[in-house]
Amino acid sequence: MRIVATAEVPAVARRAFAPLGEIVVRASFADEPLTEILIVRGTRLDGATLASLPELRAIARTGAGCDNLDVAAATRRGVPIVYAPGVGSHPVAEGTVALILAAAKRLRELGTVVEHGTWASRYEVVGLDIEGACLGIVGYGSIGRRVARLCSGLGMETIAYDPALDQLDEPELVPFEELLERADVITLHCGLTDATRGLVDRRLLARLKHGAILVNVARGPIVESEDVLADALASGQLSAVALDVFPTEPPRPGHPLYADPRVICTPHSVGLTARWNEQVFGALASDVQSVLAGGQPANVLNPEALSADRTPRPIR
């Protein structure tokens, strides 16, 4: 069976999919028309690409979002998209807390003091007290809830905004404007939609508490551009930024934002732990096998693609 991954996969993924076949890694599908199972890692999969894969039987999506997939086109083709919701929530939440701490304690700047031997300048770098600081969580789903629990344990006051929710006991659910005014640290955990694309723009940043910290581990295009962040840092409106996702990926390495020592970056990988790999690829392989056997996968983005009269097709 022809199994293609759009980016490199770990050994645990190859072991999980071994009963179905060997995984090959291809950034382009131009020469892979015989692909039957497609493992999508970050790559955009549009209708035209799907049309070039006539043998495709299932798509396995490793991440939480589906904004890079043409779900409607896959459904029309009768190609189910399996995924593993919730599996990565805790690793991403832990990574979020690590970024919050790194930004608040200005670890990149302090590391530069040691690296450059400017020892006396260490007194000029003053971090934020986490205990008692207000954390504003935008998007209170599985990841946001875990971040709240972890940060509450650090003594942070946690508030949240999520238009899909009406009431929360803990943390406090507040209007968006109030969150922007109160939060010392804002962390983004909302999905990428028409309403959230470009949400963080100059006008929003101007409404933040002066010197706030912004953390984004959700989707890069929620931030309008690197320029708006660079300008907010230059003015002091933001005191630090931590990013695991970027307006364009991979980001432009020459942009001044990434040279600023107040910016902490990870390459869209803060939640990719050993346990995450094992659980995600195990779940995906199991669900792909269910699809091929004519069964019901545990998690499928487009159940409409699973027709009632499906018959198992042999694994070649």
Task: List, by residue number, the catalytic residues.
Answer: 219, 249, 268
Spatial separation of the C-alpha atoms in residues 37 and 4, rounded to whole Å: 6
Comparing C-alpha atoms, which of 71, 81, 12 is closest to residue 46?
71
Kind of pairing between the strands at 81-82 and 58-61:
parallel
* Residue 270 · residue 99 · CB < 8 Å: yes
* Residue 133 · residue 157 · CB < 8 Å: yes
Number of Cβ within 10 Å of residue 231's Cβ equals: 16
* Residue 48 · residue 73 · CB < 8 Å: no
Residue recorded with tokens 């006051």: 157
Comparing C-alpha atoms, which of 24, 62, 76, 66 is closest to residue 45?
66
For residue 96, the one-letter residue type is T
Cis before residue 314, ω within 30 degrees of 0?
no
